Amino acid sequence: MVHLWGSKAREESEISKSALGNCTGGDIAIMLNGEQLDANLVYLGCQMAKGARRKVHLVHVIEVPRTLPLKAVLTQESEKADQMLNSAMEIAERVGCEAVAEVVQARDAGPAIVDEARDHNCALLLIGFVRHSSKSPSELSKTVSYVLANSPCRVWLVQDPVPANSSQSSHTAHAIAQ
């Protein structure tokens, strides 16, 4: 028997699995932070998860000020998180991948993200970073630096510059979400 070409489905599955590294198991965690980049990360993560037959964990971390109890109800932040996660779940549903949404309240986002990746036995963590013009191009946020140094799994950091034309990037994210 001679196989000249592999099937497209098998090829996509192999690409998705290679993105996860040497892990034979483990899900994909996607950190949402309210930037336009979130829709791209969710779509990318869901495509990989679907191909590798894994689950996606959509996570948003609300940082609670030290002046408040950790379990304080932060209505505005919670509503924003719900909107983000609902949009992300819609993308996951359209892609056809299994997804779970979660809001975590913590003092610092970095340790909370690492704990989520560890708790869910994730093979890959997708995190977005928008470079702001007021900061040095090489300066990473405290959260991203912590995650890169302490993550128990492979981390894909996707950096996006501040959009020159915010209406254009909004249109692009909206197009991806549909």
HEC-encoded secondary structure of 116-174? HHHHCCEEEEEEEEEECCCCCCCCCCHHHHHHHHHCCCEEEEEEEECCCCHHHHHHHHH
Can you read off the two tokens belonging to residue 63?
């940082």
133 lies in a domain?
yes
Can you read off the two tokens belonging to residue 56?
């996606």
Cα separation, 58 vs 69, whole angstroms: 24
pLDDT by position in tens, the chain (length 178)? 444 555 555 555 555 455 555 555 799 999 999 988 999 999 999 999 999 999 999 999 999 999 999 999 999 999 999 999 999 999 999 999 999 999 999 999 999 999 999 999 999 999 998 877 665 555 568 999 999 999 999 999 998 876 665 444 444 444 444 4
22 lies in a domain?
yes
Q: How many domains does the chain have?
A: 1
Total-model pTM: 0.78
2 lies in a domain?
no
Helices and strands (DSSP H and E) totals, the chain: 6, 5
65 lies in a domain?
yes
64 lies in a domain?
yes
- Residue 157's domain comprises 8-177
* CA-atom Rg of the chain in angstroms: 17
Q: What is the pLDDT of residue 24?
A: 57
Can you read off the two tokens belonging to residue 83?
């909107």
Residues 6+ apart with CB under 8 A from 52: 13, 16, 17, 19, 20
3 lies in a domain?
no
Q: What is the pLDDT of residue 167?
A: 46
55 lies in a domain?
yes
Q: At 87, which CATH number? A: 3.40.50.620
Q: What is the pLDDT of residue 160?
A: 80
1 lies in a domain?
no
